[in-house]
Amino acid sequence: MAENITNQNITQGAKTKQVYTSTNKPIWCAGCGDYSVFASINKALTELGIDKSSVAIVSGIGCSSAMPHSFSTYGVHSLHGRLLPTATGIKLANSSLTVIGTGGDGDGYGIGGGHLMHTARRNLDMTYIIMDNETYGLTTGQTSPTALLGHKTKSTPFGVIEMPVNPMALAISAGATYVARGFSGDVAHLSQLIKGGIEHKGFALIDIFSPCVTFNHDNTYDWFRPRIYKLDSVGHDPSNLNAAMEKAFEDVQTKYEKIPIGLFYKTSRPTYEDLELSFKNGPLVKQEMPTKEQIQSILEENL
């Protein structure tokens, strides 16, 4: 696992304030929504004050997946669509870590879509942040799983003919216990959603409208602003499963004239770590290794 941890903490009197950002500067296009997501994650971590040596940020492949390099926490830049298996391995090896996944819509809902479903149903205690720009930005603008019908790209010059993935409905139905959607044009609101996801005990999915200013000229900041509204402004109850699913389809039903953002759904149930007997004595990395005799006994019993 790549280690970005540096001694950047700032001492203020007797109190030390942690600096979560690294010396590596983000390399996204000017105006990319991912800058705001970066700022929101940093703001959330700063407010929570989690020891950065207890944080692991994991990414897959894509523009957004450069995120771990910009933080001074532990970080892993993994394979395309394999962010969640990597994050799961980290969490199971050391369940005391705060694990945050950062990826894009192509990585998360395309090649990694199957992993999303199973991670959600297992309710592993981690946060998955998806920067959704409705295009494959790293490979210069092909259709992604969330691209809207009719959207013209290099791979669909006559317009998309497939129904887009519905991240909110998918996550809720798969068993995620914290499901939210944010907008990179509102850092204050987004950082609180991310903070809530990190604090939540269970699998949290936060889908973020993060406009690609280079390759998606349809779903821009100006396109989103008049359409989005915050769920808490209409008294939405995130504990109500039926209401959450209804809101998950509101954008489709209104032909994307009304697009809700905020916390769609939140519930509580035991996490995978709560139920797995291997963790009854604490994180695996802090447990004693089995003796040669114990290993031999297990082998004999199962062969």
What digits encode the pLDDT tens for the residues 137-172? 999 999 999 999 999 999 999 999 999 999 999 999
Give the pLDDT confidence score for residue 144 in this predicted structure.
Answer: 94
Question: Under a CB-based contact definition with an 8 Å cutoff, are residues 82 and 48 in contact?
Answer: no
Under DSSP, is residue 26 helix (H, G, I), strand (E, B) or coil? coil
Distance CA 252, CA 88 (A): 32
End-to-end CA separation in angstroms for the chain: 33
Which residues lie across from 182 on neighbouring strands?
Answer: 208
Question: Under a CB-based contact definition with an 8 Å cutoff, are residues 72 and 21 in contact?
Answer: yes
Which residues lie across from 77 on neighbouring strands?
Answer: 59
pLDDT along the chain (303 residues), means of 10: 51 66 92 97 97 96 94 96 96 96 95 95 98 93 93 92 96 98 98 98 98 96 97 98 98 96 98 92 86 90 86
Which residue in 196, 209, 200 sits closest to 168, CA to CA? 209
Question: Under a CB-based contact definition with an 8 Å cutoff, are residues 67 and 57 in contact?
Answer: yes
Show me where the domains of the chain are located: 14-277
Tokens of residue 210, six digits: 């993060």
Question: Under a CB-based contact definition with an 8 Å cutoff, are residues 212 and 133 in contact?
Answer: yes
Q: What is the pTM of this model?
A: 0.91
Give the pLDDT confidence score for residue 1 in this predicted structure.
Answer: 46
Question: Is domain 14-277 given the CATH code 3.30.360.10 in the classification?
Answer: no
